[in-house]
Amino acid sequence: MGRILAVDLGTRRVGLAITDPLRMIASPLTNLTFKGEAPLVRELLRLAAEKDVQRVIIGLPIREDGTEAQGCRQARSLARRLQAGGLPAVLWDERYSSREAEVVLREMGLGRRRALGRVDPVAAAIILEDYLRSASSPADP
């Protein structure tokens, strides 16, 4: 079946989360330092091959009013490049994922400073959980 990888794309850090092989559980994986799109694509393709990833979910930063935020262009570009590299990519509304991640980390007792490096992978896991819930809904073809 293969795993699914989620990407929470940022200007400095990129959070990653991954499913288990049965695609039932989403877990935060790591942070990558954003050093440009080309190095990120290479790293994601390498990671996909290493971890048997069959699909990537890329967070699409949609504003509360439904309009696209500035990072949407970058997310779309990343998706195109991954697909060109043979890795299917899906854009997914990431609205509120970082805010939800901060709440989760606070509830775990982590202060703002200690949580800083963990927000992005947790946000990626939230995006991935949302995708998995949607993919398993009865209305999904």
Residue 111 has pLDDT above 80, yes or no: no
Question: pLDDT-based confidence at 141, cuts 50/70/90?
Answer: very low
15-38 per-position pLDDT tens digit:
999 999 999 999 999 999 999 999
- Distance (Å) of CA 11 to CA 17, 36, 83, 141: 17, 9, 21, 35
63-105 per-position pLDDT tens digit:
888 888 888 999 999 999 999 999 999 999 887 666 665 656 5
* All domains of the chain in start order, with CATH: 3-135 (3.30.420.140)
pTM of the model: 0.84
For residue 28, list its beta bridge partners.
17
